[in-house]
Structure 1
Amino acid sequence: MIGITDIETAAEQIAGHVVRTPTVPSPGLSSLLGVPVTAKLELLQRTGSFKARGATAKLLSLSGAERAAGVVAVSGGNHGIALAVMAAALDVKATVVMPRSAPARSVEIVREAGASVQLTDDMDGAFSLVARLRDEGLTLVHPFDDPVVIAGQGTVGLEFAQDADDLTDVLVSVGGGGLLAGVAAALRARRPGLRIWGVETEGAEAMSRALAAGGPVPVPLSSIVSTLSAPSVSPLTYDHVSALVTEVLVVPDREAVRGSLELADHAKVWAEPAAGCLLPAARQVLERVGEGARLGLVVCGGNATTGDVLAWSERFGLR
């Protein structure tokens, strides 16, 4: 299990390479939801999402031989962007494998950062190709199945605990579970009375299916939210979430897109549906815990284009 010392060490190592993002009360979201809401604005992080933290922690941990070999990662968008940009900053050659469903702008950013991009038909194929490239000698930077990466993501929770006023419930989006595992480890150490909730979208339910099955299982992927679409969680993230998290909630894609629009209208931030899903989940939490809740939201990323969100809005009849 990742401990608070691991996360504090990661925070020291990545300081100066990443942004200490704002933790702010949101009057607009507080009015919308009817309870006090504090937002951790990771969409303002370098590369547009929290992923820069774990990628930087991993890159800084590599040996000289591993750096020389170059690194490889699989990504639905944000992890690839983070690895490409941070690897370029640290003078490490990177290869990123992405499914064709990944947002076109994300693929473009990875290429612009200087990384080699390889596209596959689906996420299962992306993970298979990365395994082959790792076997050929590249150093794997896994998006979530790595204790160094999880400790890096956990610095989000460390900062949240330091900067937020009293909270009762914190909501965190879930793909493979690296962010949720790290944030939960940090918050359980610093704010042990908090309830911590994971949030997935329908068709990207790797963690909730794992919790129901008693361990990681492969899941079919159909969500539009590619940045949450892991084909399974890992034993490492599963163990953390099963031990530390209150529950993982699942919301429809349509409500995640609606949440992105609500974040723009009420919080004045442009967030991707991987963060928009927090708002419908917050309403579920409030139905369960009742009055007196004080919510914290980890607004994980903002790498969806206006065109992406408008197209999804049209698709789901939200305009």
Structure 2
Amino acid sequence: MIGIREIDAAAERIAGHVVRTPTVDSPGLSALLGVPVTAKLELLQRTGSFKARGAVAKLLSLSEAERAAGVVAVSGGNHGIALAVMAAALDVKATVVMPRTAPARSVRIAEDAGASVRLTDGMDSAFALAARLGEEGLTPVHPFDDPVVIAGQGTVGREFAADAGDLTDVLVSIGGGGLIAGVAVALRALRPDIRVWGVETEGAEAMSRALAAGGPVPVEVSSIVTTLSAPSVSALTYEHVAALVTEVLVVPDREAVRGSLELAEHAKLWTEPAAGCLVPAARRVAERVGPGARLGLVVCGGNASVADVAAWTTRFGLG
């Protein structure tokens, strides 16, 4: 497991390449949820999500030969965007493998940044293709199964701990678990009394299934939330979550989309459902903790198009 020293080193390495995103109290969310709420606005990060942190941390750690070979990554959207943009900034050739279910906007942004985008029929086949490309000589940049990437994502928690007021509970979305692993390390080191809660959507329950099984297991992905749809977590992220996270909550896709609409209406934030899922989970945490709760939300990304949100709103009858 990584520690706060690795996160401190990552923060120093990536300074100047990423944004120190705002940490703000949200009167609108506080009124909606009935308890004080503070938000860490990673949707304002370069490339629209926290993924830029881990991507550039890894790129900066590579040798000259590894960079010259070019990098390859699997992504449901945000990791691919981040790697494409950050690699271009460092003059490194990038290949991004995405499932065909990835948002068209994500594919377009990665291509516009200069990456070669390869599409597959699903996440399992995307990881398989990326593994083959790695064997052929490209340098892998895994979206979560890498201590350097986790340390980069952990800088979110380091900043949150420094910038937020008193918090009792922090909620973090989970795909493969890189973000929550890093954030949990930082928060438990710097704010030991804070509870960290993970949030997944139904059909993208890789971490909660792993916790129930005692280790990573393959899951069948069916959630609309492609940015959370890892086919399994890794042993590395599982170990961090099992040791440091209070509980992983699972919410339906419909509630994740409703959460995005509520974030837009009450917090004035345009988010993707990977962040929207925090709102219904926060209601549950507030009910369980009681009136003394002071919640922190890591608003992880905002890479959803107007067309995407409109389609989901219609699909789930939320208009």
Q: How far apart, CA to CA, are the structure 2 residues paired with 1:201 and 1:134?
A: 30
Letter in 2 for 1:150: I
Which residue is 2:91 aligned to? 91
In 1, distance between residues paired with 2:89 and 2:263? 31
1:295 alignment counterpart: 295
Task: Give the 3-state SS of the residue equivalent to 2:167 in structure 1.
Answer: coil
Q: Deviations over 1:248-282 (max 9, x none)?
A: 00000000000000000000010000000000000
1:145-177 CA-partner distances (Å, limit 9, x unpaired) = 000000000000000000000000000000000
Structure 1 residue 234 displacement after superposition: 0.2
Question: Which residue of structure 1 aligns with residue 306 of structure 2?
Answer: 306
Q: 2:46 is matched by which residue type in structure 1? A: R
1:248-267 mapped onto 2 (5 Å cutoff)? 248-267=248-267
Per the TM alignment, residue 289 of structure 1 is displaced from its structure 2 partner at its CA by 1.2
Deviation track 1:12-60 (CA, whole Å, cap 9, x = no partner) reads 0000000000000000000000100000000000000000000000000
The AA in structure 1 aligned to 2:47 is T
Structure 1 unaligned segments of length 5 or more: list them.
Answer: none
CA distance in structure 2 between the partners assigned to 1:290 and 1:196 by the alignment? 16
Aligned partners of 1:214, 1:291: CA distance in 2, in Å?
A: 33
Aligned equivalents of 2:19 and 2:3: distance in 1? 22
SS across alignment from 2:199: strand
> SS at the partner of 1:231?
coil
Q: Which amino acid aligns with 1:183?
A: V
Aligned length: 319
Structure 2 match to 1:123? 123
Distance in 1, Cα, partners of 2:177 & 2:165: 25
Q: Which residue of 2 aligns with 1:234?
A: 234
Q: Which residue number corresponds to residue 78 of structure 2?
A: 78
- Look up the match of 2:69: 69
Amino acid at match of 2:221: L
* SS, match of residue 28 in structure 1: helix
Q: Post-superposition shift, 1:286?
A: 1.4
The corresponding residue for 1:6 is 6
Residue of structure 1 in register with 2:178 after alignment: 178
Please give the alpha-carbon distance, in whole angstroms, between the structure 2 residues aligned to 1:56 and 1:223. 28
Which runs of structure 2 are paired with 1:1-319 in the superposition (5 Å)? 1-319=1-319
| Aligned equivalents of 2:67, 2:33: Cα separation in 1 | 47
Q: CA deviation at 1:216?
A: 0.2
Matched residue type, 1:170: V
Q: Displaced runs of 4+ in structure 1, greater than 2 A?
A: none
The amino acid that maps onto 1:151 is A
Return the alpha-carbon distance in structure 1 between the equivalents of residues 121 and 13 of structure 2. Answer: 36
- The Cα of 1:130 is off from its aligned counterpart by 0.4
Give the deviation of 1:291 after TM superposition.
1.3
Distance in 2 separating the partners of 1:306 and 1:169: 31
Percent sequence identity over matched residues?
84
SS at 1:96 equivalent:
strand
- Spell out, residue by residue over 1:69-124, the C-alpha distance to the aligned partner (whole angstroms, 9 max, x if none): 00000000000000000000000000000000000000000000000000000111
SS of 1:117's partner is strand
Cα distance in 1 for partners of 2:287, 2:217 equals 29
